[in-house]
Amino acid sequence: MDAISGLKKIAIIGGGPGGLTLARLLQLKGAKVNVYERDLNKNARVQGSPLDLHDESGLAAIIKANLLDEFKNNLLPGADRKKIVNERAEVFFSDHETKLEENFGSEYFRPEILRGTLRKIFLESLHPETVVWNSHFISMEKQDEGWLLHFKNENSAYADIVIGADGANSKIRPYITNIKALYSGIIMLEGNIYNAKNAAPKISALLNGGKIMAFGNKKNILMGQKGNDEIGFYASFKAIENWPANSGLDFSDKTQLLEWFKKEYFEWSSIWYELFENTTTPFIPRPIYCIPLDQTWEALPNLTMLGDAAHTIPPFAGEGANMAMLDALELSECLTSDKFDTVHEAISFYEINMRKRAAIAAKESLENGERMHSEKALNTMLGFFSAH
Query: Is 24 labelled as part of a ligand binding site?
Result: no
- pLDDT value at 90 more than 80: yes
- pLDDT value at 103 more than 90: no
Look at 235 and 79; give whichever has higher pLDDT.
235
- Per-residue pLDDT, averaged over 243-255, amounts to 97
Three-state SS string across the chain, please? Answer: CCCCCCCCEEEEECCCHHHHHHHHHHHHCCCEEEEECCCCCCCCCCCCCCEECCCCCHHHHHHHCCCHHHHHCCCCCCCCCEEEEECCCCEEEECCCHHHHCCCCCCCCCCEECHHHHHHHHHHHCCCCCEECCCCEEEEEEECCEEEEEECCCCEEEECEEEECCCCCCCCHHHCCCCCCEEEEEEEEEEEECCHHHHCHHHHHHHCCCEEEEEECCEEEEEEECCCCCEEEEEEEECCCCHHHHCCCCCCCHHHHHHHHHHHCCCCCHHHHHHHHHCCCCCEEEEEEECCCCCCCCCCCCEEECHHHCCCCCCCCCCHHHHHHHHHHHHHHHHCCCCCCCHHHHHHHHHHHHHHHHHHHHHHHHHHHHHHCCCCHHHHHHHHHHHC
Query: Is 160 labelled as part of a ligand binding site?
Result: no
pLDDT value for 1: 40
pLDDT value for 106: 56
Hey, what CATH topology would domain 182-290 get?
Answer: D-Amino Acid Oxidase; Chain A, domain 2 (3.30.9)
pTM of the full structure: 0.92
Query: Is 45 labelled as part of a ligand binding site?
Result: yes
pLDDT tens for 294-353 read 999 999 999 999 999 999 999 987 778 999 999 999 999 999 999 999 999 999 999 999
Domain locations along the chain: 9-75+111-180+292-367, 182-290
Hey, what CATH topology would domain 9-75+111-180+292-367 get?
Answer: FAD/NAD(P)-binding domain (3.50.50)
pLDDT value for 102: 47
